[in-house]
Amino acid sequence: MQKDKENFEIWKSSLTKAKSKLKTAENILHMVIPLKDNRLMIKALTFLSESSSLIITSILQKECLNNNLKLYSNQEKNLKVFFNLVNKYLEKKDIENIATLMRIRREHIRSHLEFIKQDKFVIFLGERYEVVTLELIKKLMSSVEILILKIERTSGKEKDI
């Protein structure tokens, strides 16, 4: 019982941190538009990806509490578990947006060259590149927000997360 309470507190803490990172990303985006300082897009993307990582952690922790789900020390395996679970919470387009966000974040971390050109953030990875626009960040942010809201709505239910 004590362990369940500790796990619940960890889950709740991850959810709270995810909401905070999402709010920070939203605030940064609100600064980008009027200031036209597109370098802030990188910061918004970083906070948004941190928020999504925290919400994924929160969902996995909550599922562990409810269903004795096994978590792995390997983040990639846990991400696969998440994408198997998330179908019951999100529509397909939102799942694709979360996957896109995670892919962009991985590429951003591995990239040796990136730059801002006009209203685009370009990430080079070998011979390919990824272009991130303000509109894409807004779309990704919307999906993360929807996921957080769905998880919050079900947080009182023991069977569903």
Interval 139-152: pLDDT, tens:
999 999 999 998 88
Is the pLDDT at 136 greater than 90? The verdict is yes
Q: Would you say residue 128 lies in a domain?
A: yes
Please report where in the chains the tokens 């959810």 appear, as a residue.
15
Interval 42-81: pLDDT, tens:
888 999 999 999 998 888 888 887 776 778 888 888 888 8
Q: Would you say residue 111 lies in a domain?
A: yes
Alpha-carbon distances, residue 72 vs 55, 78, 82, 107 (angstroms): 17, 6, 11, 23
Domain that holds residue 72: 2-154
Q: Would you say residue 100 lies in a domain?
A: yes
Q: Would you say residue 75 lies in a domain?
A: yes
pLDDT computed for residue 158 by the predictor? 43
Q: Would you say residue 161 lies in a domain?
A: no
Alpha-carbon distances, residue 124 vs 29, 62, 132 (angstroms): 23, 36, 11
Q: Would you say residue 159 lies in a domain?
A: no
Q: What is the CATH number of the domain that holds 138?
A: 1.20.120
Measured N-to-C along each axis, helices 92-110 and 75-85 cross at an angle, to the nearest 10 degrees, of 170
Interval 23-41: pLDDT, tens:
999 998 888 766 666 778 8
pLDDT computed for residue 150 by the predictor? 87
Domain count along the chain: 1
**Residue 111 exposed, middle or buried by CB count within 10 Å (0-12, 13-18, 19+):** middle
pLDDT computed for residue 47 by the predictor? 93
Q: Would you say residue 70 lies in a domain?
A: yes
Q: Would you say residue 19 lies in a domain?
A: yes
